[in-house]
Amino acid sequence: MSATSASNPDGSSHNARSIEELDELIALARMITYARYAAQDVELVDATHWLDLALKAVTREIGDGAEMGLPDLALSVDAINLHKH
């Protein structure tokens, strides 16, 4: 996933990110978390490593939106981070 989106094709600023886009990023983070736990359960070390990196990138993107004054999304980011540990 790139930092640009269909609604923001020039990739200008994260401020243009909508609530719907952030909701999609949160859903993606949940899916990656699920896949990471599945890979960890069957001891796929390499897959777990790459899924960790993907999850960090997505949570960083979510964090950018949460810092823009979207407190309800910040709670979701915290919930995702709790599930990772």
pTM over 0.75: no
pLDDT at 1: 45
- Neighbouring C-alpha atoms within 13 Å toward the C-beta of 3: 13
CA distance linking residue 44 with residue 27, whole number of Å: 23
pLDDT at 39: 97
- Cβ contacts of 30 within 8 Å, gap of 6 or more: 80
Helices (H) and strands (E) in the chain, counts: 3, 0
| Per-domain residue ranges of the chain | 19-66
Residue 12 has pLDDT above 90, yes or no: no
- Token pair listed for 34: 């699920």
pLDDT tens string 35-79: 999 999 999 999 999 999 999 999 999 987 655 554 444 445 555
pLDDT at 68: 55
DSSP 3-state assignment of 5? strand
